[in-house]
Structure 1
Amino acid sequence: MRVYHFVNQEYGLEDIKRRRLKIATLNDLNDPFELGVDSPDPAVRSAFRSLKNKLAQAFGLLCFSRDWKNPVQWSHYADRHRGLCLGFDVPDDVLTPVIYKAQLPKPDMAVLKGLGEPATEHIKQILSTKFRHWRYENEVRCFLKIEDEDEVKAGLYFAPFSDDLRLREVIVGHSSPVSRGNLVEALGDLSSVVSTCKARLAFRSYSVVRQRRDEFWP
């Protein structure tokens, strides 16, 4: 599946040069309801808060969108259209679609007490459920074990580009100062297999589209 990751200019160019993508932990995410559940039992709610902190030490995730044309995402995640959007080919079977709902998910305690694969899948399902107002992100997630990653520096975790994380596109934000030369330098030998373009704001809709006039991207 072709998926997209928004990033600011500095980190985007650095990730391209170093052939890597930063892994987020659960405590890094901007939604405080991650792993939140609908339960009247204080003990259950406390257990899930503890579980969140425990999982944050062992697992991370890569967050992607199925689309790059939403202007709100550029504003929120690509430094107000000054950053980049990186397009990757990622196998469908390692991606988990986010489900958007009006209510918090209810935990199935019988499944969770049984442990094993059913419990793991139930936790993943809860981790992939967000409030419906996040729907504009059109998000899919890739869950990773932190200890399996090649780079660990000062609490930062990175997933290297690979056959399962193959860079295929770079879209430069319409307000970004990144030039063609900057991008070619960062891509190096990837230039021949990665398509690049400058974005612009659509003229007749709330959308971000490809800039087709070369003179506007020197």
Structure 2
Amino acid sequence: MSINSLLENYLYFSNPRNFNDPFDCITNREKYILKGSPGIVKHREDIGVCCFSTINDNPLMWGHYANSYTGFCIKFDSKLLRNNHIQIKSHISYLKDYMPTNSDFDLAKEQIKQLEIEEDFKETTLVALGMLNAYCWKYYDWKYEKEFRAIAINTDEFERKLKFDKENLLEVYIGHRMKIVDPNYYNLLIYILKNEYPTVKIYEVRPHHLIVKLEFEEI
């Protein structure tokens, strides 16, 4: 999340092509996928993913995603994702072995097809299952992220910037090196939080001086 997204209270839904994992959302297979129908091509252009973590105290996350403790982390209320623009909300599965097709997935599809339910609902369920299979897994080495993600199919509807209610923002954690490396950025962040999000709790995050553990001190 950026200063601008705080000022304008929006979440950015990235195209998976811009992720740091080249296998995420099967982007490594995209050159074959884009040979499909115009509908498939448009889907790959318009899909957007917003990634979260269920933890805030993993040193690897602070090193990788908060620019070595010069960035910040935000805790949101779960109501944040109650939005009609979001089609999929799911925890990520971390797999050691992944195959484009597998017997468990095929069996699940066949079982759904046999259910005595309305055809429209059946088709929606099959599409959702296919999306989960394609977009909600990562290689096992990424398991430290403990990721939860929201997926929007048509980001054209909101230009990838999905507005959220300010009361959904609960806490902000700021890396201890931000005020040293970039004091102007730090002061701007504090100013925005105090004025735009007056009820939010703010914490500074720093490494414990004796053991491998992060400490959180309320500002």
TM range (shorter): 0.7 to 0.9
- The amino acid that maps onto 1:172 is I
What is the match of residue 182 of structure 1?
A: 188
What is the match of residue 72 of structure 2?
A: 84
Of Structure 1 and Structure 2, the greater strand share is in 1
Cα offset, 1:25, TM superposition:
1.0
Where in structure 2 are there 5+ consecutive unaligned residues?
83-87, 114-121
8 Å contact 2:7–2:196 — kept in the other structure? no
- The amino acid that maps onto 1:168 is L
TM-score by length of 2: 0.72
What is the match of residue 22 of structure 2?
A: 32
What is the match of residue 146 of structure 1?
A: 155
Q: Could you list the per-position Cα deviations for residues 121-168 of structure 1 after superposition, in whole angstroms to 9, with x for gaps in the alignment? A: 22223211111110000000011230221xx3xxxx2121238x8211
Of Structure 1 and Structure 2, the greater helix share is in 2
1:102 pairs with 2:90: no
8 Å contact 1:35–1:48 — kept in the other structure? no
8 Å contact 1:173–1:199 — kept in the other structure? yes
Cα offset, 1:54, TM superposition:
4.2
* Greater shift in the superposed pair: 139-148 or 60-69: 139-148
TM-score by length of 1: 0.72
Report the number of matched residues: 190
Change in CA separation of 1:50 and 1:206 when aligned onto 2, cut-off 3 Å: farther
What is the match of residue 47 of structure 1?
A: 33
Cα offset, 1:204, TM superposition:
3.8
Cα offset, 1:49, TM superposition:
8.1
Q: Aligned partners of 2:212, 2:36: CA distance in 1, in Å?
A: 41
Largest Rg, 1 or 2: 2
Which of 47, 50, 53 is 1:62 aligned to? 50
What is the match of residue 198 of structure 1?
A: 204
Could you say what the CA RMSD is over the residues aligned between the two structures, in angstroms?
A: 3.4
What is the match of residue 4 of structure 1?
A: none
Q: Aligned partners of 2:35, 2:210: CA distance in 1, in Å?
A: 45
What is the match of residue 123 of structure 2?
A: 116
